[in-house]
Amino acid sequence: MRIVVILGRMLDPRGIVVNPRAGRIFVNREEYILQPADRCALEAALRIKEAVGAEVVALPRTFLPDDDVLRQALAIGADRAIYIAGKPVALPDDGLMARVLLAAVERLGEVDLILTGATTMDTGQGQLGPRLAEALGWPQIVGAWTAEVADGSVRAVRQDGGGYVWVEASLPAVVTFVPGALKLRYPDGRRLINIYKGVGEIAAALERWEAKDLVAPEALTPLLERRGQDFPPERERGVRLSGSPEEIARAAADALRSRLPR
């Protein structure tokens, strides 16, 4: 059984400051972390591997300037990682990447399961998993909390209204995970050192494919285009509520309700 995990990276939000008045984003510390939802997908793949045995192959979610994401995936436990070299675009373009990854999955062959994050934490993109499922003609389970494989099908827990339900799809399938779905494991120290030093078996597990070998040049045109940035209005702090306790409570409740996450 072969499981493909698609991983991306994001700029650590703790290292950036957004200044709406200046209309600028200040990057104080340029540090990239794995997309939390994609990390959960990798964790799920490793759990399936431990339960039923599988080869876990890591692929990148976007064209990256370096292969750091894939090295981390190998250190955490992936068996193979393939760096797909292409021209990085300003905006993650899942429509474009779906074409490239479709070709990569077809070249890999015998893929039973594709796992990835249900959403990216920075840009909020969740289209890669469903797009790949559509391109491959596979079923999709979107927003899984946990998944297991048995008897040629994948079962997953998904949120449904207020509760959780088990759903099942026959393999091959695409499953996407919500961020924070699983307790993550730490990278293995020795693997981490070896993969960055480029020594041992693990160094050979990192391959490099060229995007232009996978798809025709015209398929590498991005679908989306960045047209600028916008900033939310500046916060007005220290607004005091006045009136009777009931009026204050009503105003505060309205303010809370409009800002609660959906």
- Measured from the CB atom, the residue of 183 and 201 that comes closer to another protein is 183
Query: Rounded to whole angstroms, how far apart are CA atoms 184 and 135?
Result: 30
- DSSP letters of 89-140? -SS--HHHHHHHHHHHHHHH----EEEEESS-TTT----HHHHHHHHHT--E
CB of 76 to another protein, least distance (A): 18
Residue indicated by tokens 């990239």? 32
CB of 71 to another protein, least distance (A): 25
Q: How far is the CB of 208 from another protein (least distance, A)?
A: 27
Cβ burial 29-66 (10 Å sphere, 16+ → b, else e) = eeebbbbbbbbbbbbbbbbbbeeeebbbbbbbbbbbee
Q: Which residues pair with 10 in a beta bridge?
A: 33
Identify which of residues 75 and 128 has a Cβ nearer to another protein in the complex: 128
In the complex with another protein, the residue whose CB is nearer, 121 or 192, is: 121
Residue 170: strand, helix, or coil: strand
Sorted by sequence, the CB contacts under 8 Å of residue 151 that are 6+ apart come out as none
Tell the smallest beta-carbon distance from residue 74 to another protein (Å): 25
Shortest reach from residue 183's CB to another protein, in Å = 6
Compute the least distance from the CB of residue 73 to another protein, in Å. 21
* 67 vs 152: CA distance, rounded Å: 33
Of 204 and 260, which CB lies nearer to another protein in the complex structure? Answer: 260
Instruction: Using the minimum distance from each CB to another protein, give the nearer residue, 167 or 203.
Output: 167
For another protein, the closer CB: 38 or 94? 94
Sign of CA dihedral 250, 252, 253, 258: positive
